[in-house]
């Protein structure tokens, strides 16, 4: 059987750290044939380094050469490039967040459905060992009816000081749309993708606006810092579930910690590290399976294998794009709630 031809648009950090090395270890199934980047020099350097045959002048030229594309540009270009690719019959794996807002994300979903092509979103926490175990355990009913989820995506002093992560126009926001989105996605998946009915949130960027801040991840300009560096939120869902959310790039806390915890009627769990809490035989139990340590590329390989399986019609996507759209709609509501100072009602 002939191999799936793949291209990559945007040859920056995530492309070279995760996707291109992951593609290399799936060479029995795919062929990385082309890259394109607005910075052609960078694309040429990456093509040279990874022995990629073609450096394209435009997305259109690349779409003519491939069956599938991985989109690794800043968030502002996710929608336009994805819709364009899907309309040309090209399958898409788009980096997270799905888009700048839910209107854009909806048009991506529509283009995927209209053209019968795969649209996957790179919410890779679902492919991590801990994420998969949490999903298995919740689906097996070990926590019973879920009641409350809690997201903590907290970094002490790690505003990304490279690329365009603090540029609102290109990214749409800061810690929430960049980092919090992963854990929000994971928690909704574990809860069974419930319909949100009301979102309250507060965003902050006071800390990053102060000159001379210590930052472990490079430097940024405090004067032009316009995105959120810390967000809190409370979300209510249709079936009585609730979610407490907090994310930060730069909080005054003891140390970084990232997890989702779930409390249900019959048990509870914490995802990072994975632990299951239950009451059995008249005693309180904590169970921790021995999970494999994973390299970034291994997670990328699982994500890509699933994408390729979907393109070939052999597998269902782990990240359903309709679920990724819901994540984006909740993020929109969080930003709106903070701006208006009110809770935002949602209809699904
Ligand atoms: N899944 C994850 O955990 C994860 C981690 C990092 C980044 N990301 C996402 O990946 C995307 C890229 O992030 P990055 O860290 O690689 O950024 P980056 O700045 O390192 O790379 C982006 C690349 O895109 C190119 N580019 C910009 N506009 C373009 C356009 N219109 N067409 C073609 N190329 C264009 C730039 O020249 C640059 O080479 C973002 O959406 C980000 O949220 C995801």
pLDDT at 2: 82
Q: Are 68 and 305 in contact (CB under 8 A)?
A: no
Determine the Cα–Cα distance for residues 168 and 19; give it in Å rounded to an integer.
25
Query: Where do we find the tokens 């032009």?
Result: 224
Give percent helix, percent strand, percent coil of the chain, each to the nearest 5.
Answer: 35, 25, 40
Q: Minimal CA–CA distance to 119: which of 163, 89, 154?
A: 89
The pLDDT of residue 48 is 98
For residue 126, give the DSSP letter.
G
List, by residue range, all CATH 3.40.50.720 domains of the chain.
4-125
Scan for tokens 């394109």, then name that residue.
36
Other beta carbons less than 10 A from residue 68's beta carbon = 23
Find the residues whose C-beta lies inside 6 A of ligand 1: 9-15, 36-39, 42, 72-75, 77, 95-96, 122, 124, 163-164, 178
Q: How far is the CA of 187 from the centre of ligand 1 (A)?
A: 25
Residue 213 has what pLDDT? 86
Stated pTM of the model: 0.97
Task: Write down the pLDDT at residue 240.
Answer: 94
pLDDT computed for residue 211 by the predictor: 92
Query: What is the CA(59)–ligand 1 centre distance, in A?
Result: 15
Q: What are the tokens at 59?
A: 């997305």
Q: In what order do the strands lie in the sheet with 196-204?
A: 283-287, 275-280, 267-270, 257-264, 146-154, 242-248, 230-237, 196-204, 344-345
- The DSSP 8-state label assigned to residue 262 in this structure reads E
Closest CA to 194 of 209, 207, 184: 184
Q: What is 4-125's CATH number?
A: 3.40.50.720
The residues near 55 (Cβ < 8 Å, ≥ 6 apart) are: 34, 35, 36, 40, 43, 44, 47
Pocket test of ligand 1: the residue of 8, 9, 10, 169 to mutate, having most ligand atoms within 8 Å of its CB, is 10
- Residue closest by Cα to atom 5 of ligand 1: 14
Q: What pLDDT is stored for residue 179 in this prediction? A: 97
CA of 280 to the centre of ligand 1 (A): 48
What topology does CATH give the domain 131-297+327-345?
A: Dihydrodipicolinate Reductase; domain 2 (3.30.360)
Distance 284 CA to ligand 1 centre (A): 46
State the distance from the centre of ligand 1 to the C-alpha of 163, rounded, in angstroms: 8
Q: Which pair of tokens denotes residue 137?
A: 């355990």
Please state the atom number of ligand 1 nearest to the C-alpha of residue 177. Answer: 43
Q: By alpha-carbon position, which residue is closest to atom 31 of ligand 1?
A: 77
Contacts of 2 (CB under 8 A, 6+ apart): none
Ligand 1 atom with the smallest distance to the CA of 10 is 24
Question: CB burial class (10 A; 0-12, 13-18, 19+) of residue 170?
Answer: middle
275-280 and 267-270: which strand pairing?
antiparallel
Residue span(s) of the chain under CATH 3.30.360.10 come to 131-297+327-345
Strand 196-204 vs strand 344-345: parallel, antiparallel, or unpaired? antiparallel
* Tens-place pLDDT, residues 103-161: 999 999 999 999 999 999 999 999 999 999 999 999 999 999 999 999 999 999 999 99
Helix H or strand E encompassing 296: helix 296-311
Q: Which residue has the tokens 């380094």?
A: 49
Quick count: other Cβ atoms within 10 Å of Cβ 59? 22
Which residue of 22, 60, 69, 74 sits with most ligand 1 atoms within 8 Å of its CB, as the best mutation to test the pocket? 74
Rounded CA gap, 165 and 174, in Å? 7
All residue ranges of the chain with pLDDT < 50 are none
Report the alpha-carbon distance of residue 155 to residue 174 in Å, rounded: 13
Instruction: Give yes or no for a contact between 205 and 174, defined as CB atoms under 8 angstroms apart.
Output: yes
Atom 30 of ligand 1, residue of closest alpha carbon: 38
Neighbours of 181 (CB within 10 A): 26
Report the largest interatomic distance among the alpha carbons of the chain, rounded to a whole angstrom.
Answer: 67
Burial of residue 283 (CB within 10 Å: 0-12, 13-18, 19+) is exposed
């Amino acid at each position: 059987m002939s191999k799936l031809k793949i291209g990559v648009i945007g040859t920056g950090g995530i492309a070279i750290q995760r996707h291109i090395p992951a593609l290399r270890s799936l060479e029995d199934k795919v062929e990385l044939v082309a890259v394109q980047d607005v910075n052609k020099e960078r694309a040429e350097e990456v093509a040279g380094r990874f022995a990629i045959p073609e450096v394209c002048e435009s997305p259109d030229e690349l779409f003519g050469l491939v069956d599938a594309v991985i989109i690794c540009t800043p968030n502002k270009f996710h929608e336009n490039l994805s819709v364009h690719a899907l309309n040309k019959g090209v399958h898409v794996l788009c980096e997270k967040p799905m888009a700048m807002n839910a209107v854009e994300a909806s048009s991506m979903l529509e283009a995927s459905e209209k053209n019968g092509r795969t649209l996957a979103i790179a919410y890779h926490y679902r492919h991590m060992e801990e994420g998969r175990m949490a999903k298995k355990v919740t689906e097996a009913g070990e926590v019973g009816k879920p009641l409350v989820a809690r997201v903590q995506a907290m970094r002490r002093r790690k505003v990304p000081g490279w690329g365009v992560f603090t540029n609102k126009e290109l990214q749409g926001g800061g810690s929430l749309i960049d980092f919090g989105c992963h854990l929000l996605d994971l928690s909704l998946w574990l809860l069974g993708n419930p319909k949100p009915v009301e979102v309250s949130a507060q965003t902050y960027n006071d800390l990053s606006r102060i000159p001379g801040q210590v930052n472990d991840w490079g430097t940024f300009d405090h004067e032009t810092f316009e995105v959120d560096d810390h967000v809190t939120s409370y979300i209510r869902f249709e079936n009585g579930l609730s979610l407490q959310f907090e994310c930060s790039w730069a909080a005054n806390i003891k140390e970084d910690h990232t997890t989702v915890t779930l409390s249900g009627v019959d048990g509870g769990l914490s995802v990072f590290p994975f632990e299951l809490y239950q009451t059995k035989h008249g005693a309180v139990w904590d169970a921790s399976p021995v999970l494999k340590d994973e390299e970034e590329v291994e997670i990328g390989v699982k994500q890509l294998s699933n994408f390729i399986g979907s393109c070939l019609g052999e597998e269902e996507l782990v990240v359903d794009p309709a679920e990724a759209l819901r994540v984006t709609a909740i993020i929109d509501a969080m930003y709106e709630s903070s701006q208006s100072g009110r809770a935002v009602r949602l209809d699904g």
